Structure 1
């Protein structure tokens, strides 16, 4: 049982709303049938304006996030400017593509001069989009997202959208569970939201 990788096999999501980007995730970490944590934070800040939503191997995605944080901190000091979301996403994609043993699917999202969302698949493919989902739970909510996402949602509408989507995934995917965490990233900074397990829609 314990020779399995610890996985954030999972549900992650990012959407654009009228003022920025809203990201969300469940909080279950699993190793096969064993659940080592029910309260994992899969929304990892790498700068003040950029977050990584992590799915795949916990160790691999944490390592990539730490490398991005180190590189972008150095870049911001040398260039005296705010790192661009696309720069972070391109570097993450390059790391995953050049290291095929890594098990990592990421969403890189943030706000520089505008809201940006980049979806990075397990092989390193990089796609910019208005909304993105990932992890094992995403298979259960593509239809919901296709029908219910709309351009220009308010923050409140976005929170409801993500809460419903992640709740649906939790109720169908045995690798997703626990609580729901969200972060709103805009020109005004970051706001974080937390919904405990008993507030997840059944």
Structure 2
């Protein structure tokens, strides 16, 4: 049982992804939550808002990851009030990194932070303990082991909003996409697919049911 006492969505029990596109970001996740060998929640939304145009994708202990997201959400609200404008994505990622590092012995969580701000546009940051790196894409969880080659080969900078959404997850009939590949191959990933698209105009959230996702056998 993790220190937070909650079910586990650690690197062995989930798939999360965030990518930058020309003008914004797309985040995606599966929805399966496990406690040991048991599935305890089939439809958990692992994409958590940190501010209006900043989200994070959760993995690790569900309790720990959600606690970090809630703390950062509160701190960003205070910060944006103090500065009189929306916070930067890097500020959110730095807060996540600082908490993860300070409590690295007590918390078990890995968050990918992504969003849009007027200074940097769409940005994706990987955070893990003391690590903070901006990347064009970040993939996490057990499902990432099955899709890193696909993402490395197929991702390219300058993709459109629609291309990026389809790259992360789309409905069948369709070519392969990252979450569908992971959920088909990784026994610890599954359920429905959540997707969040963020750009200067706002945030769009979608849910795609499992029976609407393409499988290998559709091709």
**Same fold, judged at TM 0.5 (above):** yes
Aligned 1:78-157 pairs, distance under 5 A: 78-100=82-104, 101-113=106-118, 114-121=121-128, 123-157=129-163
Please report the TM-score for the alignment, with normalisation by the length of structure 1.
0.95
Match of 1:174 in 2: 187
Match of 2:204 in 1: 191
Q: Is the 8 A contact 2:55 2:114 kept in 1?
A: yes
Deviation, 1:179, is 0.7
Q: Does 1:161 align with 2:167?
A: yes
Match of 2:74 in 1: 70
CA distance in 1 between counterparts of 2:180 and 2:41 reads 18
| Residue of structure 2 aligned with 1:53, choices 27, 38, 57 | 57
Q: 1:175 aligns to what SS in structure 2? A: coil
Deviation, 1:19, is 2.1
CA distance in 1 between counterparts of 2:185 and 2:134 reads 27
CA distance in 2 between counterparts of 1:158 and 1:112 reads 18
Instruction: Detail structure 1 runs of 4+ shifted over 2 Å in the superposition.
Output: none
Q: 1:185 aligns to what SS in structure 2? A: strand
Distance 1:137 1:124, change over 3 A: farther
Distance 1:124 1:104, change over 3 A: farther
Return 5+ residue gaps in structure 1 as ranges: none
CA distance in 2 between counterparts of 1:109 and 1:196 reads 23
Match of 1:41 in 2: 45
Return 5+ residue gaps in structure 2 as ranges: 170-176
1:132-157 deviations in Å (ceiling 9; x for gaps): 11111111110000000011111221
Q: How many pairs align?
A: 201
Please report the TM-score for the alignment, with normalisation by the length of structure 2.
0.88
